Amino acid sequence: MLIPFLVSKIHQATVTATNLDYMGSISIDEEIMEKAGLRENQKVDVYDITNGSRLTTYVIPAPRGSRGVELNGAAARLVNPGDRVIVAAYALIDERELDSRNAVILLMEADNRIKKVINSRI
């Protein structure tokens, strides 16, 4: 049986911008994407810690080193610059593999620097 499990999480990133006129997505600094194991166009959930909004979108890279986290399109109506968010990616994993898998969790500073990387058993 395949079970959806967390494989990647960016915890308490700060939204740096919103762009209502863009087609959609969340832009994340390419370096942060790599550390989190996220790929371009990968589906993610975004949980706004500040206001409680939850949404699903896909990831596109922001310039490397920019520390940018930008919500685009319709998502820009649910999140504001300065909000703290959690970005979570899940995968369908065979239950027989669960004991050998780890989730990558990035704990973020307020300026979107990576404070700590955790490889947690899922």
Known catalytic residues are 25, 58
Q: Which run of H or of E encompasses 36?
A: helix 30-36
- CA dihedral of residues 63, 66, 71, 76 (deg, nearest 10): -120
Q: Which run of H or of E encompasses 75?
A: none
Pair of tokens at residue 40: 């371009």
